[in-house]
Chains A and B, each alone.
Chain A
Amino acid sequence: MNIKELTQIREQQWWELIKRLNEEPFKYHIGDGEISLKGEEFKLQQRIALRNIGIINPNKIEEYIATGGYFALARALENEPKEVIKTIKDANLRGRGGAGFPAGRKWEAAAYHETDEKYVVCNADEGDPGAYMDRSILEGDPHTVLEGMALCGYAIGASKGYIYVRAEYPKAVASLITAIEQAKAHNLLGNHILGSDFHFDIELRLGAGAFVCGESTALMESIEGKRGMPRNKEFRTTERGLWGKPTVINNVETLANIPPILTKGAQWFKEIGTEKSSGTKVFALVGKVQKPGLVEVPMGMSIYDIVYLIGGGIPKGKKAKAVQTGGPSGGCIPSHLFDTKVDFESLEAVGSIMGSGGMVVMDENDCMVDIAKFFLEFSVDESCGKCTPCRIGNKRLLEILQRLTLGEGEISDLTKLENLSRVICQTSLCGLGQSSPNPVLSTLNYFYDEYKEHAQDKHCRSGVCKALLRYEINDRCVGCTRCVQHCPVDCISGSIRERHYIDATECIHCGECFKNCPVNAIDVF
C-alpha cells in the first residue's frame, strides 16, 4: 500500500459512502467533502473528535479512508517526526483525560530520550461515572484512535502501542479487534507502514474493574500484570514509563483529535475554543436533562448554553440545582454560576475540573450531601490503599457524611469535613486521592445551607435522606385506612372514616403511606 493506492480507495469509497448515506437524506448534510448530522441538537455543536460517529460504518476501514482517514499518517511519514510534534505543540492540544497537560510537550519529552524501545499507550479505561465519550469513539470510529497512536509512535520513535480498555465495554473491544486486523491487512499497522521504514504494532489489554487504573502509572503497572497501584512520582512516564521505557500515554479523545489537527493544521485548531484551551471538548450531558447525549462544543461555551440550548433544559418543569463535572474528582457547580465557561481554567476557578467530560445535571430533588456521599463511597471503594491519606482519610470523610445523612451529625462535623478534605488533597500520592474530596469541598462551598440543615435541623430539603424525613397526616385525611395497610411497622393508628395519626417514634421513614395515600393527606417535612 502507498499513498496513491490510498487515494484510489478514498475516491472510490467516497461515492459508495455518499450513495449509502443518501438513502437516509433526512439524517445527513452532505457538503463539499464534509458530512455532518442533521438535527436541532447538532446546530451548536462542532464535532472534531466525534466527526465520524454515526456516519461511517466502524467495521469498514474503507469508509474511514473515504472521509480522509489515514492520510494524516501517510503525509506525516513523508516528513520528519519533529514536524508532527511541532504541529501538535502549535495547536496547543491539551489532554482530554482530565488534567489538560499539553500533548505536544509530552510527545517532545518522550522523543528526546534515546532508547531501544519506547511505547505509546492509549488510556481507554474510562472510569468516571457519567462519562462515555471514549466508549462512543472506540465503538463508532476506532480507526481514528489507531491512526492517532501510529502518528504518536512515529513522532516519538516508538514501534509498539497498547490500548488499555475497560472490560465493561465489550462492544468497544470487539470493534478495536476488527479495526486492528483491518489496519494490519491494509499495511497501515505492522512493518514498513505504507512502504516506509516505520514499524508500529498495537496490542489490546483489558482492564479488570479498577477505577484507579485510569491513573497513568497505575495503568502501566496493570499492563505489566501487577496490582494497579500508582507509582511514586520519581520520574515522568515520558522518561520511565511502561517497563521502565519512555512512554506517552494519551486518552482516547485526545488521540481522536490528532488526525484532524495534522490534516487541517495547527492554526485551524487554535482558532477554535479559547486562548488557553484550544479546540472542542466532548461532554456527556446526562442526568436530569430533556435530551441527554454526547455533545461536542468549542471550549468556552457556557454551561447554560449546553444544558438549555443543546440539552433542552430540565424535565418535568423542575429547576436545575447544579451541574456536576469531572466525576468523583470534580465538583458541583450551582445554577447561579451557569454562565461559567467550560474550559480548563474557568472550571477550575469555580472549584470543579474539566475531567473526562461527564456533565451530570441535578435538579431540586437531588440532595447535595447525598451526592457528596455517593462520590465518596465511590472513592473509598476504588482507593488502592497504597497511601494513608486516601485509604483512611476518605473513609473518615465518608463516615462523617453518613452521620449527616442519618441525622446523627453535628455542626462541628462541617469544619472537620473541610479540614480533613484539605489534608487529603495535599498529602495523597496520586490524582485519585488528591481530588477525591473535591465533591465534598465544592458542595460545602456552594450548598453550605443544606449541610447546616442536615447537621442542625436534621432536615433534608430534597427529601432524599430518608432518615431525616418526618411524615404527618393532615386534616385532608378521609380515614380510608390505606396507609395503615401499607405501613410495614404498624405505626399508624385511627379508626375508619376518622383522621389517622403516625407514631413518629416508631416510624422508619419508608414513605409507603405517603405513596399510597389517595387524597394527599400526608405531609413530608
Chain B
Amino acid sequence: MFIFDFEENKEKVDQFIQFMDKNRQMKGVLLPVLQEAQNKFGYLPKEILQLISSHLGIPTSTIYGVATFYSQFSFVPRGKYSISVCMGTACYVNGAADILDEFSKVLSINLGETTADRKFSIIETRCVGLCSDAPVVTINNQVYTHFKKSDVKHILSLLP
C-alpha cells in the first residue's frame, strides 16, 4: 500500500482545493476534478478521493465508481518513466505485441506493473492516432515512431 503524505504534498493539495473551489459551479464537475488530481499527484490516492468527497458532497462510492470506469485513472503510482505501447490496429499489424513482450522481458515486469525501484512502468495504450508512423511507443510525453523491437534495450539505456 502506498500512504499519501499530506505534509509533503501540502502545496499541491492547496492548489487542488483551489481548483475545486473555482469550478464548484461547473455542471458535471467530477470528471475534470479527477483529471486534475491524476495530473497533479500522478495517481488517485484514497485520501484525495475522500477529500473530493467531503469538498464536493459526492459519496466516495460514487467517486470510486466513476474513477474505476475510466482507464486514464490509476490507483497506484506509476514509474518515473511510464512506457506505453500503442495497441491500435496499425501498430498491431506492424508488430506492437512483440515490442510489448520485449519491454516486459527486459524489465521483468508485466503489463500494468511498475518496477520495484519505481523507475519504469509498462502500460498499453489505445490508438494514439499516429497510425501512418506505426508502431508507436510513448515514454512519458516523448513519442517514438517506427519503433522496432531491437530499439527496446537502446531506449531503456538512454533513460537516466
Contact = CB atoms under 8 A, between A and B. Distances in A.
Nearest to B68: A227
Interface stretch (A255-263, A285-293, A413-421, A444-452): A285-293
A374 B27 contact: no
B65 A208 contact: no
A383 to B, nearest CB: 12
Question: Which 5 pairs, one residue from A and one from B, show the smallest C-beta to C-beta distance?
Answer: A132-B129, A208-B70, A129-B88, A225-B28, A130-B89
A227 B90 contact: no
Interface in B109-150: 125-132, 134, 141
A115 to B, nearest CB: 16
Contacts of B29: 225
A210 B32 contact: no
Given A129-B88, A225-B31, A286-B134, A209 B93 contact: no
Nearest to B62: A226
A208 B30 CA distance: 12
27 contacts: A127-B127, A128-B127, A129-B88, A129-B92, A129-B127, A131-B127, A132-B127, A167-B35, A167-B72, A168-B127, A208-B31, A209-B70, A209-B71, A209-B126, A210-B71, A224-B27, A224-B28, A225-B27, A225-B30, A226-B66, A227-B69, A286-B89, A288-B93, A294-B132, A324-B89, A366-B93, A375-B89
Contacts of B65: 227
B72 A374 contact: no
B93 to A, nearest CB: 5
A205 B27 CA distance: 11
A248 interface: no
A287 B126 contact: no
Contact of A362 (B31, B66, B93, B134): B93
B53 interface: no
Contact of A243 (B27, B66, B132): B27
Contacts of A327: 89
Given A131-B127, A207-B70, A284-B132, 17 more contacts: A126-B129, A129-B88, A130-B90, A131-B129, A169-B128, A206-B32, A208-B73, A210-B70, A222-B31, A226-B66, A292-B131, A293-B132, A294-B132, A358-B131, A360-B90, A360-B131, A362-B93
Interface in B75-99: 87-94
A408 B105 CA distance: 26
Interface of A: 126-132, 135-136, 167-170, 205-211, 222-229, 243, 284, 286-288, 292-294, 324, 327, 358, 360, 362, 366, 371, 374-375, 384
Contacts of B132: 284, 286, 292-294
Which of B30, B34, B70 has the most chain A CB within a 10 Å cutoff? B70
A40 to B, nearest CB: 16
B90 A209 contact: no
A228 B89 CA distance: 24
A165 to B, nearest CB: 11
Interface of B: 27-32, 34-35, 65-66, 69-73, 87-94, 125-132, 134, 141
B90 A292 contact: yes
A227 B24 CA distance: 19
B131 A284 contact: yes
B80 to A, nearest CB: 20
B126 A168 contact: yes
A89 B74 CA distance: 45
A209 B89 contact: no
Contacts of B69: 210, 227-229, 384
Contacts of A360: 89-90, 93, 131
A223 B69 CA distance: 14
Nearest to A285: B132
A360 B90 CA distance: 6
Contacts of A170: 141
Which of B27, B28, B66, B91 has the most chain A CB within a 10 Å cutoff? B28
B89 A287 contact: yes
A327 B93 CA distance: 13
Contact of B32 (A168, A205, A226): A205
Which of A132, A224, A288 has the most chain B CB within a 10 Å cutoff? A132
Contact of A287 (B66, B71, B73, B93): B93
A227 B129 contact: no
B152 to A, nearest CB: 16
Contacts of B30: 225-226
Contacts of B90: 129-130, 286-287, 292, 360
Contacts of A136: 129
B126 A228 contact: no
A225 B66 contact: yes
B129 A135 contact: yes
A168 B125 contact: yes
A362 B90 CA distance: 9
Contacts of A126: 129
A129 B27 contact: no
Which of B35, B71, B89, B141 has the most chain A CB within a 10 Å cutoff? B89
A237 to B, nearest CB: 16
Nearest to B67: A208
B17 to A, nearest CB: 18
A140 B100 CA distance: 31
Nearest to B132: A292
Contacts of A209: 70-73, 126
Contacts of A384: 69
B128 A228 contact: no
B133 to A, nearest CB: 8
Contacts of A223: 28, 31
Given A224-B28, A225-B29, A225-B30, A168 B128 contact: yes
B72 A132 contact: no
Nearest to A288: B93
